[in-house]
Amino acid sequence: MTRATLMTVMCVAVLVAVTVQVQAMVVNADGHHLTTAAHPGAILDTLTNWLWLDATETINRSVGDVSSQLGPGGEFEGYRLATRLEIHNLFTSAGLTLTESDLVSNGWVDDAAGQLQVQQFVNIYGQTNFNIYQGSLVWPANNDDSQAALWAYTFPGQPVDNRYWVGDAGADPNLIGTARDDMGVALVRPVPEPSVLGLVVLGLTGLAGRRSRQALSRQA
Taking only the tens place, the pLDDT of each residue in 145-159 is 678 888 887 766 666
- pLDDT at position 175 is 75
Q: Is residue 215 part of a domain?
A: no
d(CA 152, CA 90): 17
Looking at the domain assignment, is residue 139 inside a domain? yes
Phi, psi of 73 (to 5 degrees): 80, -5
In a domain, 75, yes or no: yes
Residue among 38, 109, 103 at smallest CA distance from 76: 38
More confident residue, 1 or 55: 55
Per-residue confidence (pLDDT) for residue 52, from 0 to 100: 98
Domain total of the chain = 1
| Sheet containing 80-81, strands listed edge to edge, beginning at the edge strand earlier in sequence | 26-28, 42-45, 50-53, 187-190, 80-81
SS3 195: coil
- Per the domain annotation, does 7 fall within a domain? no
Query: Domain for residue 187, yes or no?
Result: yes
pTM of the model: 0.75
Q: What is the pLDDT of residue 117?
A: 92
Pair 44, 191: CB distance under 8 Å: yes
Does some domain include residue 219? Answer: no
Is residue 213, in this structure, part of any structural domain at all? no
* Domain carrying residue 199: 22-206
Asked if 179 contacts 68 with a C-beta cutoff of 8 angstroms, the reply is no
Determine whether 51 is exposed, middle or buried from the number of CB atoms within 10 Å of its CB (0-12, 13-18, 19+): buried
Confidence of residue 112 (pLDDT cuts 50, 70, 90): confident
The answer to whether residue 87 is domain-embedded is: yes
- Taking alpha carbons only, the member of 90, 134, 93 closest to residue 115 is 134
